Amino acid sequence: MEEFIIFIVGALVSGFGTIIGFGGGVFMVPILIIFFGYNIEIAIGATMSALVPASIIASVFNLRDRSIDYLVGSLIQFPAVMGTVLGAFMVAFLPVSELQIIFALFVLVVGGFMVIPKKKKLARHSGMMYRIRRAPTSFIRKNRAKHLAYRLNGGVVSVFGFASGIIAGLFGIGGGFLQTPMMIKLFRMPSQIATSTSLFILVITSFTGFISHYLLGNVLWSRSLPLMAAFALGALAGNLMKKHRPPAQNLEKLIGLGLLLAGMGVVLNLLIKSNFGFSF
């Protein structure tokens, strides 16, 4: 009975994560630990395993849909790898617990702003980010299949990728749930392109995480395989639901809800780490 419940929960988490471009790992790990009594290392190993087929399935759909920006994905992912290494080293020198609390509050605030309806919308052609996007290292990306165009600054995108990697290494959590909202809000990328690109990045990060935890002995196939099937089913269902894609404003609210849940997941991570001496 417990395995069936985990399967259903995993499919729902994966489906929601596919729609909003998060993947779902930041939600699933605390669920497995708190509600199903998983050992923390095994929970991480099972979730990392499950994210691999889910992200691949989502990216295959998005590839066919021509909604992935591979250049932006590369500009974020490669600096993120370096940032993760630096963040892991910084753990020994910084007050990680205090920073994690501040970070969780930041994520909750950003999620709240995305969920709460805005009374006043800022003009697109004003503000600091508009000026940054038009700096010398900026360029225009065109998606002819979707009839979309947007301007980005390569340097800023790379710095953001590096910063998200530091967060991942410093706090021991995936930085993926920051990528989608920041691509939409800071870089003004269309929401469909942002979610697809974030899931493409997840293919690399989840596979790397899976290999790492497999070598550490944290992947138990009896726990991982059912969750992998659940996440694969959820990714398939999420992509089928994306055919009836909600308007951009509603999608942003869903992403905001995801951030609120992710912020609570970070808080739970802090509580779990204080009890078990380990972080995810």
pTM tops 0.75, yes or no = yes
Tell me the pLDDT tens digit for each residue of 91-110.
677 776 677 777 778 888 88
> Which of 152, 22, 174 shows the shortest CA–CA distance to 83?
174
Please give the tally of structural domains in the chain: 1
Between CA 28 and CA 44 the distance in angstroms is 9
In this prediction, residue 253 carries a pLDDT of 84
* CB-count exposure of residue 147 (10 Å: 0-12, 13-18, 19+): exposed
> Which of 83, 3, 79 shows the shortest CA–CA distance to 38?
3
Structural domain range at position 244: 2-276
SS3 216: coil
What residue ranges of the chain have pLDDT lower than 50? 122, 279-280
In this prediction, residue 280 carries a pLDDT of 47
In this prediction, residue 107 carries a pLDDT of 82
Q: Rounded to whole angstroms, what are the CA distances from 223 to 53, 119, 122, 220, 265?
A: 15, 47, 48, 5, 21
SS3 217: coil
Between CA 45 and CA 39 the distance in angstroms is 10
Between CA 139 and CA 125 the distance in angstroms is 16
Tell me the pLDDT tens digit for each residue of 190-216.
988 999 999 999 898 888 888 888 988
Q: Residue 133 in contact with residue 153, Cβ under 8 Å?
A: yes
> Which of 46, 77, 87, 20 shows the shortest CA–CA distance to 202?
77
In this prediction, residue 279 carries a pLDDT of 46
In this prediction, residue 58 carries a pLDDT of 94
